Amino acid sequence: MGQGVLSPGFSRVDGVLHADGVSLERLAHEVGTPAYVYSLARIRAQYRRLETALAQAMPDVPHRLHFSVKANSNLAILRTLQECGAGVDIVSAGELYRAREAGFGGTDIVFSGVGKTADELRLALEAPVLFVNVESEGELRLLDEVARAMGAVAPVALRVNPEVTVESPHEYIRTGEKGHKFGIPYDDAEAVARLAHELPNVALVGLDMHIGSQIATWEPYASALARIRPLFESLRVAGIQTLQWLDLGGGLGVTYEAEAPADVDRFAAGVAEAVRGLGVSLVFEPGRFLVAEAGVLLARVLYRKRSGGKEYVITDAGMNDLVRPSHYQAYHRIEPVTTPAGQLVADVVGPVCESGDFLALGREMADVGPGDLLAVHTAGAYGFVMASNYNSRPRPVEVVVDGDRYAVATERERLEDLVRLERAHLQWRSA
Ligand SMILES: *Cc1c(COP(=O)(O)O)cnc(C)c1O
């Protein structure tokens, strides 16, 4: 293997794992560990792959990719996607703030989420966002009131629960089955849509669905669209001519272990077929697909230990840095940055005082020891964004790589940051 970038992302150059043109050994030396490292080239490549597939499958259907900010909300990542031409899908006022800071205009934003407050709805209308994905009749009525007080008309897409079964690896990432908290139950959707049409300060501009995450096959989308399309058509027939958008949500899967990633060409062809002749504009909300494989968590081995016949590799990264293994029983490939000889089977665990604090269990892996560096792969989505300060551990640094350059995108938290909002000396007020 020669020098330089082989393909965007992570590969070995002279035995050392690199992020594009940057040695992860060198990087760890410069910024310390634990550290999240993202390849911007890889993110751009994922964006282009999906965008190209959609454009080729349906050149005559207007569509936009709105990156789901909750997957990775770092400003540098948002900015990179903004430069690619993406919009964003947000779920909170905090994500709205981030999107604006990263340079997204109001109409580059759609606002999703099951529990928006009146304040959040007001901020959305001030932006103003492209549309609000409304998830209940109560939210619709509140939005109408908020809009009236502002003298505005709120553009609304109704998130409908298509009530389909989705094969995704963990029940926490299924969102489109009957009885889930998300969306408007399918049988209520028509009535809520008619209400939206009648309320004076909302305009029903679309329908929305998001059926889950880490979806590898086309079938769940096909089943869901087979439910949503007739609803869309019957609302149009009922005279709701403002309907323009169909938001198909996110969910496209990636490879963590050996899973087949989402087949974007199949997906694009399927969507094209499913919306043929409908005369809609489409929004997609990919999160994981755009960023997961572009990121690693770098950790350093602190200790090796044997207990109860088991091998432990103890690292300086724990569940507070990457909670997916513990929270979703998720698999993340773990690879040494340089290649030591030999193999072992071990639990890779962090320093947090919880038995649930692990990055991998019973993993066959390289025989690493204290001081060795590990790359925990596919950590670009739902990684840093789910990090916490549990055990008063400062959150890790985030670094972006572009070609053979790197930049710190988020400074490592300092100890004083941990207590910045706290008061040891209380200011009592009488109630
Ligand atoms: C989480 C989420 C997404 C993104 O899901 P991915 O599986 O990361 O693509 C899109 N839309 C909504 C409404 C979401 O909640």
| Chain position carrying tokens 């989308």 | 221
Binding site membership of 250 for ligand 1 (Cβ less than 6 Å): yes
Spatial CA neighbour of 346 closest among 384, 306, 389, 376? 306
Q: Do domains 2-39+292-419 and 41-290 have the same CATH topology?
A: no
In tens, the pLDDT along 162-191 reads 998 777 777 777 777 788 888 999 999 999
By annotation, the residues acting in catalysis are 353
In tens, the pLDDT along 87-100 reads 999 999 999 999 99
Q: What pTM was computed for the model?
A: 0.96
Binding site membership of 159 for ligand 1 (Cβ less than 6 Å): no
- If phi > 0 it is left, if psi is from -120 to 50 it is alpha, else beta; for residue 151 that is left
**Whole-angstrom Cα distance, residue 164 to residue 225?**
10
* 294 DSSP 8-state letter: G
Of ligand 1's listed atoms, the one at least distance from the Cα of 70 is: 1
| Chain position carrying tokens 């790589």 | 401
Q: Which of 90, 114, 210, 283 to mutate to test the pocket of ligand 1 (most atoms within 8 A of CB)?
A: 210
Architecture of domain 41-290: Alpha-Beta Barrel (3.20)
Cα 64 to the center of its chain, rounded Å: 17
Average pLDDT score over residue span 15-20: 97
**Whole-angstrom Cα distance, residue 121 to residue 82?**
23
Q: Which of 112, 168, 184, 254 to mutate to test the pocket of ligand 1 (most atoms within 8 A of CB)?
A: 112
Whether 5 has a pLDDT exceeding 50, the answer reads no
> Both ends of the chain: CA-CA distance in Å?
70
The larger pLDDT score, comparing residue 175 to residue 314, is at 314
**Whole-angstrom Cα distance, residue 193 to residue 189?**
6
Helix, strand, or coil here: 165? Answer: coil
Spatial CA neighbour of 313 closest among 346, 361, 340? 346
Binding site membership of 247 for ligand 1 (Cβ less than 6 Å): no
Binding site membership of 74 for ligand 1 (Cβ less than 6 Å): no
Q: Where is 397: in which H helix or E strand?
A: strand 397-402
In tens, the pLDDT along 234-243 reads 999 999 999 9
**Whole-angstrom Cα distance, residue 203 to residue 152?**
10
> Measuring CA to CA, how many Å separate 298 from each of 172, 179, 295, 382?
26, 39, 10, 15
Ordered by start, the domain boundaries in the chain are 2-39+292-419, 41-290
The answer to whether 274 touches 14, Cβ cutoff 8 Å, is no
User: Side-chain half-sphere of 309: how many Cα atoms within 13 Å?
Assistant: 0
Place 7 in a pLDDT band, splitting at 50, 70 and 90. low
Say if strands 63-68 and 87-90 run parallel, antiparallel, or are unpaired. Answer: parallel
Least confident of 336-345, 368-377, 415-424: 336-345
Binding site membership of 286 for ligand 1 (Cβ less than 6 Å): yes
Q: Alpha helix (H) ranges present in 292-333?
A: 324-328
pLDDT at 6: 45
- Domain 2-39+292-419 has what CATH class? mainly beta
Spatial CA neighbour of 177 closest among 168, 158, 164? 164
Average pLDDT score over residue span 92-109: 98
